[in-house]
Amino acid sequence: MNQDLSIFHLVLGASVVVQLVVLLLLLISVASWAAIFRKLFSIGQVKSLNDAFEREFWSGTSLNDLFAAAAKNARDSGPMERIFASGMREFQKLREKHITDANTLMDGARRAMRASFQREMDVVETHLSFLASVGSVSPYVGLFGTVWGIMHAFTGLAALQTVTLATVAPGIAEALVTTAIGLFAAIPAVVAYNRFARDIDRTAIKLETFIEEFSNILQRNVGAQSASGH
């Protein structure tokens, strides 16, 4: 009896619709775990690259040297370094056009950094919506399989003269399997989504703080150069 009511045998004995629901949920679960590990690695890499550049930025290295290194290692740099590079690039372009107005220079650099920030956050948030969808939809897909399985079980019981627990249990059990698998797919996705959303919010705050700090440094440089020019 225990062997007949194992999950494997219950799925094999289920209707085609229930088997398709189980297969769909298993595929969703595999895709969800793949997205979780991929996102775990990418967020860890982003944090590591940002921390490394932030240490270099505050180590006293000149802005021109940092910009040259960022341009050279553009492919392997992190979001913070790319944001810095975009701000410096726009700042230098405006200076090359002999623009000396401090507000114009700062507005151009800030716009370039904000645009780069938005692009970086779009990349960091990749696959996050998929995990949210898995967490919200999987239980309902499992519930659909359960409802269909129960309907199928009661349809089969209608032809029987006597109904006992032994005849009811297998049909109900195979129907409930889809709900269990739906929760199995949903729970890790929800937990991972909440964890990643919190990490991404922290990354966004850190990048926005850097943009403000770097803008202040550029503004001081512009002010110092303007004062020396006078």
pLDDT in tens, 106-165: 999 999 999 999 999 999 998 899 999 999 999 999 998 888 878 777 776 666 666 565
Average pLDDT over all residues of the chain: 85
Number of domains in the chain: 1
Q: What is the pLDDT of residue 2?
A: 44
Q: What is the pLDDT of residue 3?
A: 44
Q: What is the pLDDT of residue 9?
A: 64
In terms of Cα–Cα distance, which of 138, 125, 120 is closest to 31?
Answer: 138
Name residues of the chain where pLDDT drops below 50. Answer: 1-3, 230
Cβ atoms of 183 and 142 closer than 8 Å: yes
Which tokens sit at 109?
């650099």
* CA distance linking residue 174 with residue 156, whole number of Å: 13
Q: Is residue 185 part of a domain?
A: yes
Contacts of 140 by beta carbon, 8 Å cutoff, 6+ apart: 182
Cβ atoms of 183 and 56 closer than 8 Å: no
Q: Is residue 23 part of a domain?
A: yes
Q: Is residue 2 part of a domain?
A: no
Q: Is residue 126 part of a domain?
A: yes
Instruction: Quote the domain boundaries for residue 71.
Output: 7-229
Coil vs helix vs strand at 102:
helix
Coil vs helix vs strand at 60:
coil
Q: Is residue 1 part of a domain?
A: no
DSSP-assigned letter for residue 127 = T
Q: Is residue 76 part of a domain?
A: yes
